[in-house]
Structure 1
Amino acid sequence: MPTQPPPTAARRFAWASRNFRIQTAATVISGLGNAGAPIATAFAVLGNGGTTAEVGYVTAARLLPTVLLLVVGGTLADRLPRHHIMVAANLFSGVSQAVLAALVLAGNVQLWQLLVLSAAGGAGYALYSPAAGGMIMHAVPQEHAARAFSVFRMGQNASQIGGAALGGALTAAFGPGWVLALDALCFLIAAALRFLLEAESAPAASGSSVLRDLREGWQEFASRRWLWVIVLQFAVLVACINAVEAVYGPTVANDRLGGAGAWGLAMSAYGVGLVVTGLLMARWRPRRILLVGNWGVFLFGVPALALAVAAPLPVLVAAMFLSGVGVTVFGVNWMVALQQEVPEEMFSRVIAYDELGSYSLTPIGTALAGPAATVLGLSGALWACAVLCLLLSAAVLLDPQVRRLTRRSPARSTSDAPVPVDEPAPAS
């Protein structure tokens, strides 16, 4: 009896549209530079005689315009061609990073210049991110969502491995300026690729006012309790994690573990955890999307715990790996939930409100990371971050919608269907 020939690569990835392939490739390239840039920026501050607090101030300067401009970026992305917004944002970010690289390489960068150019990078991200999220959601058929989002995140996360390792190695060998120059180049290449993206179907009607679009996006976001409950959780989680990765981790590496190379290795292990788990998530389709995703969130605080107990480098590397596992388990299930539950014409606005809430406390938390380490001690600040991550991961499971949000068959799904539950949820 004749056997059916194995599927070719083209047939196996027939679900991957041209826009999906281009956007994934551009994301990998820009991610290579972005993974090393925070390491380079932190060590640029420290190498210029700066303090741990100043590292926090520079990081906060990038995050503040991100928080302030995200909803504007989301509204524009639901009104204008998303690929045009992404190209413009990438070009702007590339130029700002090139200027920063030149100043660092010249050896005369001032703190105020680091603050201004970091803020410019944050503004570029605020315009780019909602458009990018909407683009990738639109490019993926729902019946292949888990596989497609896993492949996308594997590509995105694989660049974390190479970018963090390369960023740490280049910073240690040649100084942070060359890493920032590489980031600028990656932004410009990504902009050129995204220029080739095909226009999507017509965006939301632009006859309505921007304020009305913002209000509609907010109503869509606020009407789903599972959505804003997790975003509230992440407002604190992201502030803690960013303080650990951008401020405390580089400081501990500089003082005790051997410098930028050690922290780059730890961040690379985080990237390995992201990618390895992506292979699992490409095949695993858990029924309770957010319940399973939140189990991954319990691993977010493991690196802070390892740093708090002064663990040796191999233990820190293992902790960062586990954190990467948790991020991918949550991230893929979160993308599936958003695509399943949010109407397509609202993708970018809801993503903007999601990121706005998730980043809302991060500028404050990062700016206060240095003073907190002064008051509590570095170990005490790290313990506080670890405990907060654990408590919030447990607290969010008290919400029944988070526990019961169920993966639906694409044949039955509608863009505005209610959250499916196994039994009636209690009244809010």
Structure 2
Amino acid sequence: MATRPSPPVRGALRRLEVLREANFRIFFAGYTTSMLGTSMATVALSFAVLEATGSLSDLSFVMAARIVPMVVFLLGGGILGDRLPRRMIMLCSDWLRALTQGSLAVLLMTGSAQLWQLLLLAALGGVGEAFFKPSFDGLVPHVVSAPRLPDANTMLGLGNSVASVAGPALAGLLVTLVSPATVLLVDAGTYALCALFLMRLRVPESRAASTPGLLSELRAGWGLFTGHRWLWIVTLQFTMFNFVVWAPYLVLGPAAADATYTGASSWGTIVSVYGAGSILGALFLLGRRPNRPLLITTLVTVLWAAPSAALAAQAPLVVVCAGALSAGVANSVFNALWMTTIQQHVPQDALSRVMSYVSFGAYSIGPLGLALAGPVAEHTSISAVLAVGVCWQLAANAFILCLPSVRGVRLTHRAAGSATEPAGERETAATGDEDDPGATETEPAGTPRPS
């Protein structure tokens, strides 16, 4: 007689029911494949520039060159994502990124890469990402049933985390045994494969019949974005996070690994452990619905400063990896809860525009942080720049915890309404009664049935 799975096993299986939906399986496979290549390329490009020029400033400029056009075109990508079929936009973006990464790999293989070429190809890749991201964020609710949306976001984070573990580890090995160019060529192939998965996706392609002017759509999206205090406050917080904390970490992390540890292999290990933490965070969160998601995210994202603190102190590699592990856990918890909160409280027909404002805000001055991190570190020290980021993260999270408009946000049962719903009504539904400490909390979305 067959034995029944134990309750913990049955619970885990119920939480994976989101993979029973064919559309989501295809979407998940394509996204995870693409992220595997991207996580490999992040390691490879850093060491390709360092090998080619040996300059931290050049590395800063190349990384900034990718982010600048992404910021510039994000709002346009959001408008197109709400006007045109999102799947089509994502397909065009994937093919563009496959072409740019392939061209970059060829230039590096032939030894003819010049700085201006690296900057140009990085910028074109950023354009592709600017149009891809708002459509991706807006398409997620259409590839999965509404009750399973929280688990879909967690699974996408889990796939990203798995890629973050496997990608850097494989990249570090290939950079050592072959070359950074080989890794970039693999990345180009993953973008092409992701596009093939997207071509199999079956989602509604029709758009709204009315198409107001671009400025009207931007104003409507801005009204929805600013209508939720928690949305613009947290976005502003992470504008500064990307500038002060994460941009210096991305630029100076590889340099610190090269100076203090064993170079590419150490940095690959650190990034892989960060990904392992993301897997642990996603597995822990899968099927759970905290009532106050942004309170949880604000508490855990203090840990994002941990790897920078360890690198700044030139701690042993095992301590740096422990910091990266805890930061990875925080990453999964934040991304899943943040995206689910937005998707539940923002109308789906305006989701791409609103997410473009979120991304624009979060990345707006990130390129400046990337461009400044190298030169400032050359005039001071790597440790000094990273330590400033650590202090900022601790202070900013402490401030955010004091704001009722963030602490009071709750997950809901209902999907977001239309874009014409009054902002005040949306704010009330999102946060509940901020002035009444005894207000009844809503049940986590999807309880008791797993989403």
Q: TM-score, normalised by structure 1?
A: 0.94
Assess if the C-alpha contact under 8 Å between 2:404 and 2:434 holds in 1. no
Assess if the C-alpha contact under 8 Å between 1:89 and 1:124 holds in 2. yes
Give the aligned partner of residue 181 of structure 1. Answer: 185
Aligned residue type for 1:300: W
User: Residue 115 of structure 1 is aligned with which of 119, 128, 149?
Assistant: 119
User: Residue 282 of structure 1 is aligned with which of 276, 282, 286?
Assistant: 286
Aligned residue type for 1:165: A
Assess if the C-alpha contact under 8 Å between 2:69 and 2:127 holds in 1. yes
1:298 maps to 2:302: yes
Assess if the C-alpha contact under 8 Å between 1:81 and 1:199 holds in 2. no
Aligned partner of residue 368 in structure 1, secondary structure: helix
Aligned partner of residue 206 in structure 2, secondary structure: coil
Assess if the C-alpha contact under 8 Å between 1:56 and 1:246 holds in 2. no
Q: Superposed, which structure 2 residues align to 1:304-343 within 5 Å?
A: 304-343=308-347
> Against the structure 1 CA distance between its residues 50 and 9, is the aligned structure 2 distance closer, same or farther, given a 3 Å change threshold?
same
Distance in 1 separating the partners of 2:335 and 2:436: 25
Structure 1 spans left out of the alignment, 5+ residues: none
Give the aligned partner of residue 170 of structure 1. Answer: 174
Distance in 1 separating the partners of 2:16 and 2:169: 32
Q: Superposed, which structure 2 residues align to 1:95-106 within 5 Å?
A: 95-106=99-110
Assess if the C-alpha contact under 8 Å between 1:217 and 1:346 holds in 2. yes
Distance in 2 separating the partners of 1:145 and 1:48: 44
1:421 maps to 2:432: yes
Give the aligned partner of residue 28 of structure 2. Answer: 24
Q: Deviations over 1:15-73 (max 9, x none)?
A: 75333221111110001110011211111111012311111110000000000000111
For structure 1, which segment, 414-423 or 248-257, has the greater mean C-alpha deviation from structure 2 after superposition?
414-423
Assess if the C-alpha contact under 8 Å between 1:75 and 1:213 holds in 2. yes
Give the aligned partner of residue 216 of structure 1. Answer: 220
Distance in 2 separating the partners of 1:54 and 1:81: 38
Aligned residue type for 2:65: A
1:382 maps to 2:386: yes
Q: Deviations over 1:115-151 (max 9, x none)?
A: 0000011000001011111111332333223222111
Q: Cα offset for 1:368? A: 0.4
Distance in 1 separating the partners of 2:354 and 2:20: 24
> Against the structure 1 CA distance between its residues 4 and 312, is the aligned structure 2 distance closer, same or farther, given a 3 Å change threshold?
closer
Assess if the C-alpha contact under 8 Å between 2:308 and 2:389 holds in 1. yes
Give the aligned partner of residue 53 of structure 1. Answer: 57
Q: Cα offset for 1:198? A: 1.3
Q: Cα offset for 1:85? A: 0.5
**Structure 1 vs Structure 2 CA RMSD:** 2.3
Percent identical among aligned pairs is: 36
Aligned partner of residue 48 in structure 1, secondary structure: helix
For structure 1, which segment, 165-174 or 314-323, has the greater mean C-alpha deviation from structure 2 after superposition?
165-174
1:400 maps to 2:404: yes
Distance in 2 separating the partners of 1:228 and 1:182: 37
Q: TM-score, normalised by structure 2?
A: 0.89
Matched residues, number: 424
Assess if the C-alpha contact under 8 Å between 1:401 and 1:421 holds in 2. no
Assess if the C-alpha contact under 8 Å between 2:41 and 2:187 holds in 1. yes
Distance in 2 separating the partners of 1:14 and 1:43: 38
Distance in 1 separating the partners of 2:87 and 2:34: 15
Q: Cα offset for 1:7? A: 10
Assess if the C-alpha contact under 8 Å between 2:408 and 2:431 holds in 1. yes
Q: Superposed, which structure 2 residues align to 1:222-261 within 5 Å?
A: 222-261=226-265
User: Residue 153 of structure 1 is aligned with which of 143, 153, 157?
Assistant: 157
> Against the structure 1 CA distance between its residues 197 and 309, is the aligned structure 2 distance closer, same or farther, given a 3 Å change threshold?
same
> Against the structure 1 CA distance between its residues 69 and 76, is the aligned structure 2 distance closer, same or farther, given a 3 Å change threshold?
same
1:13 maps to 2:17: yes
